Structure 1
Amino acid sequence: MSSPPHAGTGVSGRRALWTSGLLAVVLLCACSTGGTATTAPTATSAAALSGPESAYGASPKSDASIVYQSDVVLVGGGASAVQSVSADGMVWTIKGSAGHIQDLVPGKIMLATGLGAGRILAVSTVGNNKQVVLGPVDITDVVRNGNFDSAAPVSLNSVMAYQTPTRPGLISSLDDGPAGSATPTVTGTQSQAPESVPINSPDTAAPLTPDTGPSTAASIQSPSGSVSSSPQTPTTEPGDIRLPTVEFNSVAQPAGWRLPRPEIGRRAAPPAVPGSPGSGVLPLPVPTPPADDVGAYTLTPFCCTTGAGVRLAYDHAGMRVSATLTLHLSAPTVSFRLHIAGGKVTDASIDLHGAAGIGVQFSAASTAGVKGNVARQRVQVPVAFTVPIGGFALPLTARVEQTFSLSTAFASPGSVTASGDYSFGGTIGFGIHGVTQNVTKVDNFATQTSLLDSIQAVGIAPVGLIFGYQAKLTVGVGLLGFSAGAWLSLVVRIGVTAASSEAAVPCRLAAINVQLGYGIGYEIPAPVAKLVNFFLSTFGAPPIKASGGITGPYESIVNKSATLPAGTSCQ
């Protein structure tokens, strides 16, 4: 007997709105109507799923353990009802024989599988089948009532990689960020940042000052060591170069970096949406994804037994960069808890066990100087490493996604190499219990390999480079980018600059900033949302918002910067 198309009653209170001032994350989960779930979550290997389920995600159920929202449509047959999915992951073709297919109309929420979940933005008929364009949802758009607790940590050792190679907005320009993004004034030897920052996305491109305690706004330190937190209007002083504010789905953080100014590098516009919207076929998941080209980058992502990260190579316009960015892990597991009542989250937590440190290795060389600079680029790695979580009516996945940014400042042809490795063993996470909010962050950060000591640079003029990196763990439903659920995010910023190798004082500067953030719902960087909406316009679908749900404040794990010789300003 097929499941009813709509489960639950009423649509009021659908979105999880925390009490004013309570910014908390919640874990997406399958829920029960009261009490705790009777079955403990288990990490189900992909090999244990049926053919259609291994390709498209596990099928949902409707039973006494969960109350869905009234406009959720459970597609009869689940994964077996899916004919195909486009390579961008946004267009799902449902077989005409599927139960409740007539209820798939714009505005409803489709729940076909744990991956095939989202707000229906547009529907078209192709033969006997229906093509459904999905947009993002909040977890409380899907679930009205239920509790979900993990009785034991879920292992992330055996993952399957889902690739969305034609997803719009894989490369975007940081210049198209929200109007409210903050960038500090650079004046003399002092870089200044605003006391408060708007809620949009954090900078992951430039290091901040040594840590002075948790704050949603961070001061910036110039190489001279001066610090200020006075509000300023974003400007750039002649003689300095402004490096980017990178958006990674969270509270914005100001960023500044004093580098000798050759000229601002070229600001490449975001590339056109690859291929035709909804074209191609979603590749089958694999344990280890192959290298893939995204614009001028070749990316090889990896996860998760000993670490999550990406190896990248960039080769364009006389600039070559190779790098490996890694979040070290040791037998990682995730624990989580979620209570939803009346379409609102009342209790939640998520913890990542086995976090072990971060590492970076890179080399960059330019034959073109200023003209070859990479300026203000954000790159979404088009791979989600997933572990299906079985045992519940609503099939969940634990999912790791990655984003990075790159900016270079070469005043002339030259090269720079460096590597650093830092350890911090333990658990990172957060919890919301009633009106109490807590964040678990490591406090045993230690340098294993010094980034500063490793810098090697050659050139007749100064060089600089900044990497931003985000590893984001989500437990929920949906595919890459449009997933609903709770998330935990580790953001790393690493930057180096070096004076000319012919300078009287061969100054070197290195800085690292690591922050921990969390949230519930979804967030898409503004320029990416623009590209997605361009994509959707071809279907006549309404535009989506850049965010939904709630984001907690990012908290600092470490802020460190240093120069060689000590005390120099690297001007």
Structure 2
Amino acid sequence: MNAGVSTQPRRAQRVVRIAGAFAATLCVLAGCGSHAPAPPGAATQAAQAAAAWDGFVAGAPVVVGHALKLGDLSPTELKYGIAPKRVPGVVYQDNIVLLENGDKLVRAAASDGIGWTLDASDAHVAALKTGDVVFATSRCVGRVLSVAREGNEVKLLLGPVQITDLVKQGNFSYEQPLDLHSLVVYSVPDYPGAPNSAAANQMSQDGQTAIGDAGMWRHADYYVVEPNGAWTPLPAIGRDGTAARFIHTDVPVPGVPGTAFPGAPPGFGDIAAQAPPPTVDMVNGMQMYACSFDCGGLGLKLYQKKAGVQVWINAIFHLQSPTLVFHLSINSGAVNAHVELRGGVGFSLGFDALAAQDMQANLKEIGVVPVDLTIPLGGMGVPLTAMFQQSLNLGSGFSAKTSVLHAVGDFSASGAILMDYVNGRWNIPPLQMTLKNNLAAAVSGVSVGINSLVFAIDQRLLVGVGALGFAAGPYVNLVSSITALKQASQAVDCRQGTFGMQLGGGIGYAIPKVVAKVINFFLGLVHVDPVPASGFIVRLKDMIPLVDLRQQIPEGCAGK
């Protein structure tokens, strides 16, 4: 544990939490503004928040946010995000370009997630220059990296900024149950940091390190699954910023062929059998979709088929009555923060993998999922957003064709994943994860060689402004990984399973290094200076281990 971190709870009036709970393809982001009126009792909520959390700026009012439904958003707010508003108690920085009608000034959002086109008939927009900080909407915000005037429009490339570059002083509070039906999906299919993006492929051709193999982003589908099993598509914003309300794919996730591997062990095919028809077809057949009620929480289901290798993966953070809690105080560059997603009761992760007779190469997929799934927040003036972002690493290690591999890990959770930061000190309440099954015993397969698979997902819950890698604010990231290894079937039946969870967090923005390389390569193509891979007001020095398990059957057969 690093210095300045305590696992002991503080006295009641100093309980402050920055928290995250995740494990799948679900994220949360949106904006706020003056929409539906605050619910009754907002003043009481503010008083209660101020009494329960001691991180607020003394003497300044607490602005209490409330949930927004999709019907509360205008068409331009749905497309481009919500504009900032000046409200009592919130002081913006003096030198920013604040556009209180910013959603109406945006003409297009580029499919790379970095470019924006604004209406130059507005004097403030027309005067924008490189280096300015513009705050148009919850998503269209950042430092101007380049500006080009084309007729009555201005085209901008925006880089990251800190939340303190926008707000000089303010106290913000929000506590509401999560309504998954209010999710809004923003697809950024040409994001340079996505697996197999055009920039990554060109970078590879130029002899530099790329993110993955050749391919391209196709499209994404996200659904809320009702308790009765019905699938409801989520509103989606298309690649040109228009409201392509639903994006569908006609390609279902296949199950394991019943006759392809007649000698497959018990359990193989269980993960594949749970895959539903709607998918996210991501790269070269990599398909993902977000589940909620059907998997008892927030879930990722992923299918990948490439070069004769197929993998089905389920990762689920089990939730009961999830609630988002958020407090933030900013005072002349000093920040205290609390983010919490309540209701976590367990975690499970499993996969089926096979190498067919025509296997040509193993899988290697690394990158950021270029999708923001958002829930609108309202009533705080500053369009702060809670967003869930993901990057993944998937690699197979089949040493022989016509092989299969299966593994499952199932945990129950006691407590919550919480992080606190107030007045220079982090507080991490303990979290207990209990394994329900033996990892090694859950590894099975058939092969004449040694087989392995590694899957890791880095998920971030961030409350702030911006989008994807350039989003900035208080965040928590949870890194979960599972590996499975099995020796050849005719040799000693040696099986190994590992599972790890680590927690990190900070206030600022952070882009995975391999992704930042591709983004800066992309910016170099348009003659824009590179951006730093990270910028922190503060962050945990070291990731905090939550789970670290390694199990083998027979014990010690795979070494230490």
Which band: TM-score by shorter chain? 0.7 to 0.9
Does residue 56 of structure 1 match 2:80?
yes
Residue 507 of structure 1: aligned partner: 494
Residue 557 of structure 1: aligned partner: 546
Residue 428 of structure 1: aligned partner: 417
Counterpart amino acid of 2:355? S
- Decide which moves more: 321-330 or 120-129: 321-330
Shift of 1:367: 3.3
Residue 396 of structure 1: aligned partner: 384
The within-5 A match list for 1:290-309 is: 291-302=279-290, 304=292, 306-309=296-299
Shift of 1:426: 3.5
Contact 2:5 2:427 in 1 (8 A): no
Contact 1:412 1:461 in 2 (8 A): yes
Residue 182 of structure 1: aligned partner: none
Shift of 1:271: 4.9
Q: What is the TM-score with the length of structure 2 in the denominator?
A: 0.74
- Give a deviation string over 1:164-213, Cα, whole Å, max 9, x none: 1110121279xx9xxxxxxxxxxxxxxxxxxxxxxxxxxxxxxxxxxxxx
Whole-angstrom CA distance in 2 between matches of 1:267 and 1:75: 37
Residue 103 of structure 2: aligned partner: 79
Residue 233 of structure 1: aligned partner: none
Residue 171 of structure 2: aligned partner: 147
Whole-angstrom CA distance in 2 between matches of 1:408 and 1:461: 13
2:510 to 523, 527, 535: 523
- Decide which moves more: 459-468 or 280-289: 280-289
Flag the 1:534–1:73 CA change in 2: closer, same or farther, 3 A: same
Whole-angstrom CA distance in 1 between matches of 2:355 and 2:478: 30
Whole-angstrom CA distance in 2 between matches of 1:89 and 1:442: 36
Aligned length: 453
Flag the 1:66–1:34 CA change in 2: closer, same or farther, 3 A: farther
Whole-angstrom CA distance in 1 between matches of 2:17 and 2:507: 5
Q: Secondary structure at the match of 2:286?
A: strand
Shift of 1:331: 2.3
Flag the 1:304–1:484 CA change in 2: closer, same or farther, 3 A: farther
Residue 140 of structure 2: aligned partner: 116
Unmatched tracts of structure 1, length 5 or more: 1-19, 177-265
1:281 to 237, 240, 245: 240
The within-5 A match list for 1:352-371 is: 352-367=341-356, 371=360
Residue 305 of structure 2: aligned partner: 315
Flag the 1:320–1:521 CA change in 2: closer, same or farther, 3 A: same
Q: Secondary structure at the match of 2:470?
A: coil
Residue 327 of structure 2: aligned partner: 337
Contact 1:25 1:519 in 2 (8 A): no
Flag the 1:134–1:73 CA change in 2: closer, same or farther, 3 A: same
Whole-angstrom CA distance in 1 between matches of 2:56 and 2:441: 55
Q: Secondary structure at the match of 1:506?
A: coil
Whole-angstrom CA distance in 1 between matches of 2:196 and 2:513: 9
Greater share of residues in helix: 2
1:47 to 68, 71, 77: 71
Flag the 1:534–1:407 CA change in 2: closer, same or farther, 3 A: same
Contact 1:164 1:283 in 2 (8 A): no
The within-5 A match list for 1:390-539 is: 390-413=378-401, 414-443=403-432, 445-503=433-491, 505-539=492-526
Shift of 1:86: 0.9
Does residue 107 of structure 1 match 2:131?
yes
Shift of 1:486: 0.9
Shift of 1:463: 0.6
Contact 1:77 1:98 in 2 (8 A): no
State the Cα RMSD in Å. Answer: 3.3
Counterpart amino acid of 2:410? D
Q: What is the TM-score with the length of structure 1 in the denominator?
A: 0.72
Shift of 1:300: 2.1
- Give a deviation string over 1:146-168, Cα, whole Å, max 9, x none: 22233x34525332221111101
Contact 1:161 1:287 in 2 (8 A): no
Residue 52 of structure 2: aligned partner: none
Whole-angstrom CA distance in 2 between matches of 1:523 and 1:540: 23
Q: Secondary structure at the match of 2:416?
A: strand
Flag the 1:513–1:300 CA change in 2: closer, same or farther, 3 A: same
Whole-angstrom CA distance in 2 between matches of 1:42 and 1:446: 35
Counterpart amino acid of 2:413? F
Whole-angstrom CA distance in 1 between matches of 2:56 and 2:211: 49
Contact 1:163 1:282 in 2 (8 A): no
Flag the 1:35–1:395 CA change in 2: closer, same or farther, 3 A: farther
Q: Secondary structure at the match of 2:137?
A: coil
- Decide which moves more: 366-375 or 464-473: 366-375
Counterpart amino acid of 2:320? S
Contact 1:161 1:288 in 2 (8 A): no
Shift of 1:539: 3.1
Shift of 1:500: 0.5
Counterpart amino acid of 1:502? Q
Shift of 1:431: 1.2
Contact 1:172 1:270 in 2 (8 A): yes
Residue 568 of structure 1: aligned partner: 557
Shift of 1:42: 0.8
Whole-angstrom CA distance in 2 between matches of 1:486 and 1:540: 31
Flag the 1:545–1:104 CA change in 2: closer, same or farther, 3 A: same
Counterpart amino acid of 1:316? K
Counterpart amino acid of 1:281? D
Contact 1:309 1:325 in 2 (8 A): yes
Identity %: 31
Q: Secondary structure at the match of 2:122?
A: coil
2:337 to 316, 332, 348: 348
Contact 2:176 2:325 in 1 (8 A): yes
Contact 1:374 1:406 in 2 (8 A): yes
Does residue 327 of structure 1 match 2:351?
no
Flag the 1:425–1:87 CA change in 2: closer, same or farther, 3 A: farther
Counterpart amino acid of 2:145? L
Contact 1:498 1:506 in 2 (8 A): yes
Contact 2:411 2:436 in 1 (8 A): yes
Shift of 1:25: 9.5
Contact 2:212 2:366 in 1 (8 A): no
Flag the 1:458–1:273 CA change in 2: closer, same or farther, 3 A: closer
Q: Secondary structure at the match of 1:100?
A: helix
Flag the 1:496–1:398 CA change in 2: closer, same or farther, 3 A: same
Residue 373 of structure 1: aligned partner: 362
The within-5 A match list for 1:161-176 is: 161-171=185-195
Shift of 1:534: 2.3
Contact 1:87 1:167 in 2 (8 A): yes
Contact 1:76 1:99 in 2 (8 A): no
Flag the 1:325–1:32 CA change in 2: closer, same or farther, 3 A: closer
